[in-house]
Chains A and B, each alone.
Chain A
């Protein structure tokens, strides 16, 4: 399958020169010159410290950076990993720098990494974001080790995050993945993953590289595919994830629509699997969970509530295209309530109703998904108010309560998915 992926002649020659490797670490990048050097050095140190006898390669798949990212990667030292090491690398770590082809996006960068992994016969692979500030050499061991030593196919990351960080994951992606496919993967769209060579080949064989997966939906697609196709999945505790702030110009509606439509698309692809899946089961965890200091995340509850209340007044005509009558009535009734609370079961019905609407008319549902933004802001405002004085453990309990509500309402989803009318 990798033969179909266009690689530049220099990269083909480099692959022929290297021959075969045991391990591959991929770093997709785009204008990350300020951070990518640290990431490359951490990867090199991790390989030297934890896999000194393995033949390894570090692949940077760049999307045409204009800030000198490839140059920083090329100059990042592999020979002086630092005083952290107790063991020095016995086998050389190779380095491949390549542009990627296809639709611009993280998915196309990953596709190039998968193709190189297949051609080099890598047994265990990992991908890490190039804007990470908190990556340590231990991440390499935690992402590659379960694949190399325990025969797992997919390693999802488990981070510690501030209670108001990653609310799309907490309120939609995590609980839905858990309820639908029965695997309790806490960070399905974490961004840093480990995977086996055979899973990389399987990913390459899927006909998705001209779709949204090539652009933005790669994270949830990889996780869902691994679970739904029956590959062995585990998690690795990586500590805190600190990375560059996202693009301030990035629109919340775009992000939400991209992630949610990817989840809904996958429900169509794996309908048989999620309809037949049993209740959620724990996923093996590697690493040693421990507390870390987290950067506070500012939130503006009043602004979120104002948007929700305005939408309850102005967007009813849009919402009624996708929400069931009872759901819509209950949502609109929330708007004037004081104190404001968006109950778990109602939020779950909103998400499931939209999944059904997307299933019935994917194109027509796109504006509907944009109209989900105020609903999501209302739900998030409710979550922020409910957890204002809560510690990490209590917040996790509240997120777990929501996840259980998704599981309880799954028959509602199945009934509406199967039925024709509202």
Chain B
């Protein structure tokens, strides 16, 4: 191929690239401006919400209502007002990011965006389920642990952990079901797992606690006197 022909092709290609970049530049610039504006607005939202909630005593309310304890148990050391402010700020920023991607006016970006918008509700519901399940699991674990220790059950920690894991599995299965990930497999796996746990517990109680079960049932049926061990605590 002659040298002049190669230069012509390269020049044409570079020119086309330059033209396209020149045509695309306003979109990129618009995207950067939107992102910068988003960062500023998100920052402002964070500040306003953070100090606004603090001023109206939200942190005190969160502390007295137990929300702060739940956050601490979940490893979140920030004040509740800061958590709310952060969530709102990131939500605002996410909205601006979506707007910024839209400003690029690329077909693939538009397609991704519309798919993302369609899938977003499921993701949010799944996230809410996982969050709620984590909180419920932690609360139930604590309640079971205290009740089991007060009842003198030797494996109190194991029992409490089992309850928490069961709750987490239940909510994780629900979240995955919501996302449409391996729908059938999850349902079948969860059914097998849950059924297996219940069967194992039934067998353990049936084999290991026959006399206890008999006593409890007899007491329920006849409303007879409490066991001597209970008598020993009644005065307290």
**Interface positions of A (Cβ within 8 A of B):** 162, 164-168, 245-246, 248, 252-253, 255-256, 297-300, 303-304, 306-307, 310-311, 314-315, 318, 321, 360-364, 367, 370-371, 373-374, 376-377, 380
Contact = CB atoms under 8 A, between A and B. Distances in A.
B65 A363 contact: yes
B142 A307 contact: no
A307 B146 CA distance: 11
12 contacts: A162-B235, A166-B235, A248-B225, A248-B230, A248-B234, A298-B228, A303-B229, A310-B154, A314-B157, A318-B145, A364-B65, A371-B146
Contacts of A364: 63-66, 68-69
Contacts of B154: 310
Given A314-B157, A315-B145, A315-B146, A361 B236 contact: no
Contact of B69 (A304, A310, A315, A361): A361
Contacts of B68: 361, 364
Interface residues of B, number: 28
Nearest to A162: B235
Interface string B218-236: 0000000110111111111
Contacts of A164: 235
Contacts of A303: 152, 229, 232-233
Interface in B149-171: 149-150, 152, 154, 156-157
Interface string B196-236: 00000000000000000000000000000110111111111
Contacts of B231: 298
Interface on chain A toward B: helix, strand, loop, or mixed SS? Answer: helix
A307 B150 contact: yes
Given A299-B232, A361-B66, A362-B64, 9 more contacts: A164-B235, A256-B236, A307-B149, A311-B149, A318-B146, A360-B64, A361-B68, A363-B66, A376-B236
A363 B65 CA distance: 5
B15 interface: no
Interface of B: 63-66, 68-69, 142-143, 145-147, 149-150, 152, 154, 156-157, 225-226, 228-236
B164 to A, nearest CB: 13
A310 B154 CA distance: 8
Nearest to B143: A367
Contact of B236 (A168, A314, A367, A370): A168
Contacts of A166: 235
B149 A367 contact: no
A363 B150 contact: no
B233 A300 contact: yes
Contacts of A380: 236
Given A361-B65, A364-B68, A298 B152 contact: no
Contact of A374 (B69, B149, B230): B149
A307 B63 CA distance: 30
5 closest A-B pairs by beta carbon, nearest first, are A364-B66, A300-B232, A248-B226, A364-B69, A363-B66
Nearest to B226: A248
A335 B150 CA distance: 16
Nearest to B156: A314
Nearest to B152: A307
B152 A373 contact: no
Contacts of A307: 149-150, 152
A363 B149 contact: no
A248 B227 CA distance: 9
Contacts of A165: 235
B145 A314 contact: yes
